[in-house]
Chain A
């Protein structure tokens, strides 16, 4: 990879990031709202107090001034203070990001691995009952709204059977430590994790299946089989590694998106991560918080895209000249 190529890609991503930063500002300034008075319904506050609060939030300045102030702060990774909690947005986000990465990370990991595995089975045994069962089941999960799946699992395993807790990330106040604490966390993680895993499983299975079918049609595989290699060996040594590339790409790009895709699932399971924070911030509405979250989600996608581009170029020299 040439330095020129890498720097061009990085600069391109930075330009995209800049666009997102500007877009965010204008998007959120469209929301006509008055957080100050909403906070104090039912209580008298004086005009002077109101002005003070508006000043604190920077709402008394003109839009261009607010924009300059916003750019300057964003450059310093300062996204202002949450309207709701009056704490820096960065600290609000960093308090929650770990939980979302835990949930989304484990789900992505599981859905890709299981998806790849099922895809291989379906492709290798295409047009058999196994293929039909795998394909139609995963398609069904793919077609469900993820939150509806979450509702069903919640109703069945938490409401009716009471096997798993209905929400949160730990049984607060149980005082558990060590291994039992870990088990408690795993119990809370199970249902939301299962929901996301099943919801994203379909896409990976179907893509792996079709990608493997593509690869299997290629000449060198026919050659390998003609050489008398056993099917399993052909699949493992030749077909699967080549078919994996698109799915790894998809997983990497998706991770950026999935980070923000857990909004409905997190709110159903009261999972206090970024998705729930987004949901609450929209309801408030808490503009600085939303801006920060939005920027983070977009940046995650941009970074994931850049990583994929560079990885691709590294693996496949033809791309570099493109």
Chain B
């Protein structure tokens, strides 16, 4: 009996070990002495192919793998030389001629020439590559010689000479047809940036190796390993345990704790992101008629206590905001004068609504449309993908109730919410934007032609369905204004106008919460200086600049010996217990 049972245990154990061994391993390529930087994030990449991917983590891969023609300074986003060491303007600022550095090479050793740059720009324009199109839609590139090229814009473009699209290797991409590009995996791992993609194991990790041919030189870090977590708390624990060197998208709830932890620095990195409550202002399809009335939107603006949301929902880690921020650079944000501000004041909000004729005519606590019309009940969309979706909904619907406005809540994930907004099925929602460095794209979203239409309910950016001809006119002005100071003034005017019209209640400027360990690497750089994030920033310069402190082994967790001891111990206890029971039974049996 004992013999047979033991054999069952042996078989089980063998099966167990076999199963563990079968489990695919992440990679075997990391050598013991390699200097490895381990970064945790909450999002996997969707595709390393820069013409296809869309997620923030994919941008981080491209920022590392592809150098750009012009680079951005870490401190202030100032345009600095990149692959091009210099450039000159001609033809009234419509044409720029760039001179490439000498001896540029791709990571596989192939020469990087003007031909690669021109190939990328022209192909991206003719095939309308999504991540490239807004930058190069009006630009034609021409090769002058292997180290010289020219870019010509068909309209005055205040963004030039900046050219920050990812330059792809022609010798790889010319083998991929237009049709094949959408399904091209982009695992070639050939680039011109400091690190190139070596390995991607979905849901598990992606690994990038130092590029020996990077024009600034080989980075000190040999390999960067990114690890996506579905559970942000698990990521925080891994950082504390020393399984990670840095983490992106740390939950704000554990951020304060992390700041207190030994050897860990928390970074609330500002790069222009903001959160807003958006109201369907009625220029598109459907929407509650009450919100078409500016006075109702203004009353609601008075009824939202940004300070409380900031302290309760964001744990006091964000900055309360007035107006939208169109750029990672704060110079584009205007100061809203005190007399124009919508301060939190429920009594005032109620007065505005009373004066505007929205009274509760049927006595159910909810105001009605004028002349005994329907109850004003707004359809509020809560985003399931944001950890702040539920708490913000808690507060906002509570305050709206206090000014006699009802809400019906429905939860959407982002994919479902986008068309729902376009079709006018939603009156109100909380979401956010993260702008680029140039304010143009963000400002373009609020034009009248970006309002959703019946014909194309998902081809829109203006998610508040707000249309204002003055705004549109100013937008066109700034788009071709080559004088920087004048352009800033126009942009300030646009944003102030939008604030007064209140399609958005901007809640706060939301930072990227990150944290890094100080015991393994030095040289973390914030972009922009002092206020920005250290990783997942616009050009992510930290990775190249990091230097290892010592070759301290990655600590944390249990040693192998201890684990084996625990498992063996457990087996002994289980087996021993069974044996003991059996003994007692045997004697009992014999007694019978």
Question: Do A and B touch each other in the complex, judged by CB within 8 A?
Answer: yes
Chain B residue at minimum C-beta to C-beta distance from A91 = B202
Q: Does B158 reach chain A (CB closer than 8 Å)?
A: no
Residues of chain A from 97 to 135 with CB closer than 8 A to chain B in the complex: 98-99, 101-102, 105-106, 109-110, 113-114, 117, 121, 124-125, 130
Q: Is the interface of A mostly helix, strand, loop or mixed?
A: helix
Residues of chain A from 12 to 51 with CB closer than 8 A to chain B in the complex: 32-50
Chain A residue at minimum C-beta to C-beta distance from B445 = A42
Residues of chain A from 45 to 66 with CB closer than 8 A to chain B in the complex: 45-50, 52-53, 56
Q: How far does the alpha carbon of A114 sit from the alpha carbon of B9 in the complex, in Å?
A: 11
| CB-based contact A102/B586 at 8 Å | no
| CB-based contact A277/B203 at 8 Å | yes
* Known contacts A41-B418, A272-B202, A283-B413; is-contact A173 B36 (Cβ 8 Å): yes
Q: With a CB–CB cut-off of 8 A, which chain A residues contact B131? A: 43
Q: How far does the alpha carbon of A267 sit from the alpha carbon of B233 in the complex, in Å?
A: 12
Residues of chain B from 180 to 230 with CB closer than 8 A to chain A in the complex: 182-183, 185, 201-205, 207, 223, 225, 227, 229-230
Residues of chain B from 418 to 463 with CB closer than 8 A to chain A in the complex: 418-419, 422, 433-434, 441, 444-445, 456, 458-459, 461
Q: How far does the alpha carbon of A80 sit from the alpha carbon of B422 in the complex, in Å?
A: 28
Residues of chain A from 149 to 181 with CB closer than 8 A to chain B in the complex: 154, 158-159, 162-175, 177, 179-181
Residues of chain B from 555 to 592 with CB closer than 8 A to chain A in the complex: 556-558, 560, 563-564, 566-567, 574, 578, 581-582, 585-586, 588-590, 592
Q: Does A276 reach chain B (CB closer than 8 Å)?
A: yes
The stretch of A182-190, A202-210, A290-298 in contact with B is A182-190
Q: How far does the alpha carbon of A80 sit from the alpha carbon of B223 in the complex, in Å?
A: 34
Q: How far does the alpha carbon of A40 sit from the alpha carbon of B58 in the complex, in Å?
A: 13
Point out the residue from B133, B237, B415 that lies within 8 Å of A159, measured CB to CB. Answer: B237
Q: With a CB–CB cut-off of 8 A, which chain A residues contact B578? A: 117
Residues of chain B from 119 to 173 with CB closer than 8 A to chain A in the complex: 128, 130-131, 133-134
Shortest beta-carbon distance from A249 to chain B in Å: 19
Shortest beta-carbon distance from B76 to chain A in Å: 24
Point out the residue from B1, B204, B223 that lies within 8 Å of A236, measured CB to CB. Answer: B1
| CB-based contact B16/A85 at 8 Å | no
Q: With a CB–CB cut-off of 8 A, which chain A residues contact B588? A: 231
Our count of residue pairs bridging A and B at CB distance below 8 angstroms stands at: 229
Q: How far does the alpha carbon of A56 sit from the alpha carbon of B557 in the complex, in Å?
A: 46
| CB-based contact B133/A85 at 8 Å | no
| CB-based contact A283/B128 at 8 Å | no
Chain A interface residue count, CB cutoff 8 Å, equals 90
Q: With a CB–CB cut-off of 8 A, which chain B residues contact A183? A: 560, 563-564
| CB-based contact A45/B133 at 8 Å | yes
Shortest beta-carbon distance from A138 to chain B in Å: 15
Point out the residue from B8, B38, B384, B461 that lies within 8 Å of A173, measured CB to CB. Answer: B38
| CB-based contact B12/A272 at 8 Å | no
Q: Does A284 reach chain B (CB closer than 8 Å)?
A: yes
Chain B residue at minimum C-beta to C-beta distance from A35 = B415
Q: How far does the alpha carbon of A179 sit from the alpha carbon of B130 in the complex, in Å?
A: 46
Q: With a CB–CB cut-off of 8 A, which chain B residues contact A48? A: 128
| CB-based contact B203/A37 at 8 Å | no
Q: Does B26 reach chain A (CB closer than 8 Å)?
A: yes
Q: How far does the alpha carbon of A50 sit from the alpha carbon of B419 in the complex, in Å?
A: 14
Shortest beta-carbon distance from A93 to chain B in Å: 11
| CB-based contact A172/B26 at 8 Å | yes
Residues of chain B from 77 to 97 with CB closer than 8 A to chain A in the complex: none
Q: How far does the alpha carbon of A168 sit from the alpha carbon of B230 in the complex, in Å?
A: 9
Shortest beta-carbon distance from A193 to chain B in Å: 9
| CB-based contact B585/A124 at 8 Å | yes
Q: Given known contacts A95-B201, A236-B1, what 18 new A-B pairs fall within 8 Å (CB)?
A: A33-B416, A38-B414, A49-B130, A52-B182, A56-B182, A86-B47, A99-B24, A109-B16, A166-B231, A167-B231, A168-B238, A172-B225, A174-B30, A182-B20, A190-B563, A232-B1, A270-B230, A279-B230
Measured CB to CB, the residues of B under 8 A from A are 1, 8, 12, 15-17, 19-26, 28, 30-32, 34, 36, 38, 46-47, 49, 52, 54, 128, 130-131, 133-134, 182-183, 185, 201-205, 207, 223, 225, 227, 229-231, 233-235, 237-238, 241, 243, 384-385, 413-416, 418-419, 422, 433-434, 441, 444-445, 456, 458-459, 461, 554, 556-558, 560, 563-564, 566-567, 574, 578, 581-582, 585-586, 588-590, 592
Pairs of residues from A and B, 7 with the lowest C-beta to C-beta distance, nearest first: A272-B203, A231-B589, A37-B458, A166-B234, A38-B415, A175-B30, A167-B234
